[in-house]
Structure 1
């Protein structure tokens, strides 16, 4: 049973009158548990296929209690387990089909070579080298080649950030279209520049002595990262001159 943020399904006039809520009502309900959430974040999760709110004839979004419940679960899995959105979507879809599914392995504590460590402070999900190879269905030689081009970079202890699983899977998928790792260096360089811009914006917040302000810096970083990725995708689509989903 998914947990709904308190104040959710019954909040606001729209909820009381029809069971449907405006995006503002949903935002207020979510902020009780997720104070950093924004309207842009909700729209981004919709664009990524995590929720599908109804639309009025004039185009306004209307969210059901189920949409609110699903949003709360998505935000909770991001916050507590740092799972990629694709993994979260597949997990929730399986749950809604009535399947008994465990929490995905990426984001859980484990032991041995496939260790996932949780450090003090913000949770940091890490995957072991053998787990990365298995998840992306690649061999050691391929991983070493990708590392040589800077597409994947192990941490100091030899493990990888959990997002490396997504990166490796996408590099492998592009390879099936003839796009080689050396071709992707330009994308890595662009990503590094975008990350540098985000870091520049949030740096004053990170240096603040107030713990709440530093926590805001982490939330702001996530929001800016989501927006830059969305902009990057839109610019690529525009450059190609084609309509893509």
Structure 2
């Protein structure tokens, strides 16, 4: 199989270790070598950094979860699993063979969130630090978290190790809220109804553009130092 092209990897992706931590409770026998095997078989294709390190998105993690579930609970061979994935990639929702009409989407949706314990374990931190991040408004005050919260909490841990604790980053939340209002106004000015699919898609697209601009400014500033 041809190697994945090297390109800039988006912020917020997970390392192999973080993927293992996120899935460990459900798949205790999952190892780095097994993840690499799934990649070799073309069942999951993680991003690659310029140094060649694998990085996984939430979609990659859920794809791995589906593959492992189909192997363990439904005894499907890899060839049949590949066919299920092809159906999903084509926008269809295939029924799992021998699963009493259970579809692939029901498996994908069965574990989309993490408990606070699972999140802290995956990000190699503790509930006290998680509480500090929540108190600063950098993570939602909730009992369950989406998978992308792993990357967010891990980033906060790394920043804290450099002396930038969640308390120091309160201004980041305030700035983000102002930017969200600005983007919402820009979308509304195009006549799109707030909350509609087109408005949501438009807002997310503007968020990506804004992140690109912010990253460029910060990188240039850092270079000037």
Report the TM-score, using the length of structure 1 for normalisation.
0.48
Tell me: CA distance 1:174–1:101, structure 2 relative to 1, closer, same or farther (3 Å): farther
How far apart are residue 96 of structure 1 and its match? 9.1
The answer for the alignment partner of 1:136 in structure 2 is: 123
Matches within 5 A, 1:23-38: none
Q: Give 2:139's aligned residue.
A: 152
Query: Does residue 144 of structure 2 align to residue 202 of structure 1?
Result: no
Please report how far the alpha carbon of residue 47 of structure 1 lies from its aligned counterpart in structure 2 after TM superposition: 6.5
Contact 2:12 2:151 in 1 (8 A): no
Residues 95-114 of structure 1: pairs in structure 2 closer than 5 A: 98=40, 103-105=60-62
* Alpha-carbon distance in structure 1 between the residues aligned to 2:204 and 2:15: 16
Counterpart of 2:89 in structure 1 is none
In structure 2, the CA distance between the partners of 1:146 and 1:88, relative to structure 1 (3 Å rule), is closer
Report the 3-state secondary structure (helix = DSSP H, G, I; strand = E; otherwise coil) of the residue aligned with 1:151. Answer: coil
**Cross-structure match for 2:13:** 86
Give the Å deviation of 1:185: 1.1
**How many Å apart are 1:202 and its aligned residue?**
2.5
Aligned match for 1:179, one of 154, 164, 170: 164
Partner of 1:55: none
Distance 1:95 1:154, change over 3 A: farther
CA distance in 2 between counterparts of 1:183 and 1:200 reads: 28
In structure 2, how many angstroms separate the alpha carbons of the residues matched to 1:107 and 1:194? 34
Deviation at 1:106, TM superposition (A): 9.1
Q: Please give the per-residue CA displacement for 1:34-55, whole angstroms capped at 9, x wherever unaligned.
A: xxxxxxxxxxxx96337xxxxx
Of 231, 234, 244, which residue of structure 1 is paired with 2:216? 234
Say if 2:160 and 2:166, in contact at 8 Å, map to a contact too: yes
Shift of 1:128: 2.1
Q: 170, 179, 194: which one pairs with 2:155?
A: 170
Relative distance call for 1:106 and 1:140 in structure 2 (3 A) is farther
State how far apart, in whole Å, the 1-side matches of 2:40 and 2:64 are: 22
SS in 1 for 2:40: coil
**In structure 2, what is the equivalent of residue 49 of structure 1?**
9
The structural deviation recorded for 1:99 is: 6.0
Deviations 1:174-196 (A, max 9, x none): 11212222111111211221122
Taking a change above 3 Å as real, the CA distance of residues 169 and 85 of structure 1, as seen in their structure-2 partners, is closer
Tell whether the 8 Å contact from 1:106 to 1:162 is kept in structure 2 after alignment: no
